[in-house]
């Protein structure tokens, strides 16, 4: 069982020390790669090993190292931004390495633009949530084989730039990510999205052969018949070859070009020795590379000779010849932009992606823009020059250039905070456009949200910073969650680097901070940063399972409680860190037992109901009290004193107060009770030392209560009655078996059931066993025999 612990540190003052950002010479928006590069440059220059005559060299280097160690980690960086040096005194540590380590081992691939250095913050979005082919090197700076591989990895990345995406993960710094991906040795080379490990020789040639064999593209072999029937309305890049001529493109280059130009042009191969007539039609008399451009009103098209000799040169030349797609032809002006937004507000179903820029669009960015239409065929694309339309860009609070934004049906929009490559932008655009219920918010809109004056719908608002890795991981989860609440809850985001005053005004002290606004009530989200947790959090407000008690309702509900009811109450204070930590588990507990009509889970806000809490003698928070079956009113109270406050520990404690219908079964009564009866039995075979059995016990208790009166439930201690369990065919714990009464399975002491007439009951049991995530994590040995 995994316990999630969230620690909220309350701090009212801190001592302002050195500015770590200024010390490293970086802006507060710097990403991890920029932080590493800045630190390496300083470390190599100022290391004590190279400055032995300077008495302050060691102290200076320690300060630099501490600054780096704090800022490279998302959690310590967040604490530093909140509380300064005081906030990281107890958690930060600095490691000391020799000058040669920083010169030779540190940031192996930081100076290689062709290699994408990945961390946990961007791995999920860029790699796992993408269909692009990635080849990733999981390495450690201290691994000699990793350093031996580095030159070949760099050459491979340069040769296959644009063909596949080459990445690197430093497992010394991102060990959680490496553990998540099952990395157990260095270097480990994996190809995604298939997550296939490369096990060949780590030579450049072998790695290249491995990658090219996994490309999902092909080169079309062209002859006259195929050309006449299939060239259609596409433009083509053709390798035209004569056998005796050495100028023909090799098959590897053809395959690379097919991958680089996928979705833009078709790539084909023409053998002029077997189809000389077709080559003459193109005006080719020797091996060459041509770009044949389809023109609607030109029956034979236009043939352009390509002068480049390698894949990168050829692809750039072809991209420069491709006509800019019509949807990017016209620059959007202020009027066109407003028309576009009005159309979306009025119900247009086609989202737009807009490229905001200043100056000219040249070089790599021009080529990336040309790739976007093929990657986003169902979106409209445009570009807007913020130098010409500065007031429009200021109204949108655009603070950096270039910048991509998705404008969605309904009128909302979101900005892209990742890499500005066509594939990353396309991933963001698809993800964002599929979530029309989430949008960027600005200060003028915020008072209406707080007071719920806009459309009478509550809001979930995420306050974030683009440089914050946990923030960027949360944004895709917010989009997923928003799809569950199209008509009931609005979702919004506020960039606190742009709207700093608004964030300070609302006491936003860490990123991300996510708050639910409902009328004048607000509630901070403190669960796991997953879509599932967000949905559960919001569903609790729409359909509450925790009963919020005032002084009046406390005494009317619990003060007059009958003996056949049980209440479990959390007395909390909103400012209390452990109370905030408990809140998500408390909601989960309430949801788990919501189908049991005589069990109630409640809460009392002791800040709002201070008189009630004083009367009940509540002196610390959280205080968990249970008013059990058998007691009337407030006559009987049990106080939870366990150290663990996770949902499973709380449920186990709760169920210890609930009479169990589960019978203890032994060899003496098993046959009479279970086998020689026409009534169904559900039996849990367990062992007292089995951890999964202990976790499952409250689950089985819950199922027994739900089925009481229809199905008998029992349990067998396989530690005490091993022979009985062996006869039943039990090979692992816990094992659950359903017996439907007297049936043909009872032969020769055969205790394992084989049933054929209880499908509705089995389906209900499967539903109960799937009640929450924890059940799905039980051992595979748990099963229902049918």
> Which residues is 270 bridged to in the sheet?
222, 240
A 10 A CB-CB count for 170 gives 25
Give the C-alpha separation, 332 to 330, whole Å.
6
Per the annotation, the verdict on 579 as an active-site residue is yes
Inter-CA distances, 113 with 108, 117, 158, 165, 665, Å: 12, 9, 9, 11, 68
Count the residues in the chain.
786
> Can you give the three-state secondary structure of 717-738, one letter per residue?
ECCCCHHHHHHCCCCCCCEEEE
Helix pair 363-375, 422-433: axis angle to 10 deg: 40
Per-residue burial over 595-612, b = 16 or more CB atoms within 10 Å of its CB, e = otherwise: eeeebbbbbbbbeebeeb
Give the C-alpha separation, 315 to 753, whole Å.
66
| 355, 382 contact by CB (below 8 A) | yes
Q: What is the DSSP string of 358-408?
A: SS---HHHHHHHHHHHHH-TTSEEEEEETTTSHHHHHHTT--SSSEEEEE-
Which residue among 450, 690, 743, 745 is the active-site one?
A: 690
Per the annotation, the verdict on 503 as an active-site residue is no
Give the C-alpha separation, 595 to 5, whole Å.
28
Q: In a 3-state reduction of DSSP, which class is residue 712?
A: strand
Q: In a 3-state reduction of DSSP, which class is residue 438?
A: strand
Angle CA(425)–CA(431)–CA(437) in degrees, nearest 5?
Answer: 125
Per-residue burial over 532-559, b = 16 or more CB atoms within 10 Å of its CB, e = otherwise: ebbbbbbbbbeeebbbebebebbeebbe
Per the annotation, the verdict on 693 as an active-site residue is yes
Give the C-alpha separation, 163 to 150, whole Å.
19
Place of tokens 């895709």: 476
Which residue among 386, 468, 503, 579 is the active-site one?
A: 579
| 111, 142 contact by CB (below 8 A) | no
Nearest Cα residue to 292 out of 263, 265, 270, 320:
265
- For 182, left (φ over 0), alpha (ψ -120 to 50), or beta? left
Q: Which residues contact 6 (CB under 8 A, 6 or more apart)?
A: 526, 580, 581
> Can you give the three-state secondary structure of 98-118, one letter per residue?
CHHHHHHHCCCCCCCCCEEEC
Which residue among 693, 718, 725, 758 is the active-site one?
A: 693
Which residue among 143, 450, 576, 745 is the active-site one?
A: 576
Give the C-alpha separation, 45 to 25, whole Å.
14
Give the C-alpha separation, 626 to 566, whole Å.
7
Per the annotation, the verdict on 725 as an active-site residue is no
Catalytic positions, written as ranges: 576, 579, 690, 693
């Amino acid at each position: 069982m995994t316990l999630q612990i969230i620690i909220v540190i309350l701090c009212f003052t801190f001592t302002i020390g050195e500015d770590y950002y200024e010390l490293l010479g970086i802006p507060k928006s710097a990403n991890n790669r920029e932080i590493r590069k800045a630190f390496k440059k300083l470390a190599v220059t100022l290391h004590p090993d190279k400055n032995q005559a300077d008495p302050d060299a060691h102290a200076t280097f320690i300060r630099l190292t501490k600054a780096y160690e704090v800022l490279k980690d998302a959690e310590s960086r967040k604490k530093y931004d909140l509380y300064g040096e005081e906030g990281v005194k107890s958690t930060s540590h600095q490691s000391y390495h020799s000058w040669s380590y920083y010169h030779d081992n540190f940031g192996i691939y930081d100076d290689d633009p062709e290699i994408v250095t990945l961390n946990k913050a961007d791995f999920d979005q860029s790699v796992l949530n993408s269909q692009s082919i990635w080849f990733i090197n999981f390495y450690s700076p201290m691994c000699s084989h990793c350093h031996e591989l580095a030159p070949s990895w760099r050459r491979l990345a340069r040769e296959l730039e644009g063909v596949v995406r080459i990445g690197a993960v430093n497992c010394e710094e991102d060990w959680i990510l490496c553990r998540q991906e099952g990395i157990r040795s260095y270097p480990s080379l994996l190809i995604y999205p298939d997550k296939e490990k490369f096990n060949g020789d780590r030579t450049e040639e072998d790695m290249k052969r491995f990658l090219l064999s996994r490309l999902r593209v092909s080169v079309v072999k062209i002859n006259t018949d195929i050309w006449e029937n299939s060239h259609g309305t596409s433009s083509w890049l053709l390798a035209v070859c004569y056998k005796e001529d050495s100028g023909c493109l090799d098959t590897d280059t053809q395959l690379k070009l097919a991958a680089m130009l996928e979705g833009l042009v078709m790539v084909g191969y023409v053998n002029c020795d077997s189809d000389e007539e077709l080559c003459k039609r193109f005006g080719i008399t020797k091996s060459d590379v041509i770009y044949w451009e389809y023109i609607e009103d030109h029956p034979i098209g236009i043939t352009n000779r390509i002068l480049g000799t390698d894949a990168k040169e050829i692809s750039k030349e072809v991209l420069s010849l491709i006509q800019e797609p019509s949807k990017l032809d016209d620059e959007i002006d202020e009027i066109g932009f407003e028309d576009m937004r009005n159309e979306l507000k009025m119900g247009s179903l086609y989202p737009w992606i807009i490229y905001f820029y200043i100056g000219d669009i040249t070089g790599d960015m021009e080529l990336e823009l040309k790739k976007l239409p093929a990657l986003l065929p169902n979106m409209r694309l445009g570009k807007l020059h913020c130098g010409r339309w500065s007031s429009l860009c200021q109204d949108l609070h655009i603070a950096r250039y270039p910048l991509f934004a998705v404008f969605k049906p309904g009128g909302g929009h979101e900005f892209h905070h990742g890499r500005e490559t066509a594939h990353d932008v396309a991933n963001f655009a698809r993800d964002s456009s599929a979530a029309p219920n989430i949008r960027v918010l600005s200060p003028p809109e915020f008072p209406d949200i707080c007071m719920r004056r806009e459309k009478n719908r509550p809001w979930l608002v995420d306050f974030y910073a683009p440089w914050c890795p946990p923030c960027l991981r949360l944004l895709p989860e917010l989009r997923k969650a928003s799809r569950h609440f199209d008509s009931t809850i609005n979702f919004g985001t506020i960039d606190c680097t742009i709207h700093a005053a608004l964030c300070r005004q609302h006491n936003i002290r860490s990123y991300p901070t996510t708050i639910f606004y409902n009328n004048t009530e607000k509630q901070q989200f403190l669960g796991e940063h997953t879509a599932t947790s967000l949905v559960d959090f919001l569903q609790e407000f729409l359909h509450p399972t925790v009963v919020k008690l005032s002084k009046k309702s406390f005494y009317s509900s619990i003060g007059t409680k009958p003996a056949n009811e049980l209440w479990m109450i959390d007395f909390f204070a909103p400012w209390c860190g452990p109370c905030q930590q408990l809140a998500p588990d408390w909601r989960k507990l309430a949801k788990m037992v919501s189908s049991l009509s005589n069990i109630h889970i409640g809460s009392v806000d002791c800040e709002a109901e201070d008189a009630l809490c004083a009367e009940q003698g509540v002196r610390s928070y959280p205080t968990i009290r249970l008013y059990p079956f058998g007691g009337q009113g407030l006559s009987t109270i049990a106080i939870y004193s366990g150290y663990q406050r996770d949902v499973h520990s709380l449920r186990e404690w709760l169920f210890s107060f609930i009479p169990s219908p589960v019978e203890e079964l032994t060899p003496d009564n098993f046959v009479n009770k279970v086998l020689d009866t026409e009534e169904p039995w559900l039996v849990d075979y367990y062992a007292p030392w089995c951890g999964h059995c202990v976790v499952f016990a409250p689950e089985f208790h819950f199922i027994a209560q739900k089925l009481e009166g229809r199905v008998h439930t029992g349990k067998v201690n396989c530690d005490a009655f091993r022979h009985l369990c062996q006869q039943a065919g039990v090979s692992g714990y816990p094992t659950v078996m359903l017996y439907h009464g007297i049936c043909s399975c009872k032969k020769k002491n055969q205790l394992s059931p084989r049933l054929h007439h209880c499908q509705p009951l089995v389906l209900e049991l499967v539903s109960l066993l799937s009640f929450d995530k924890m059940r799905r994590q039980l051992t595979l040995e748990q099963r229902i025999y049918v």
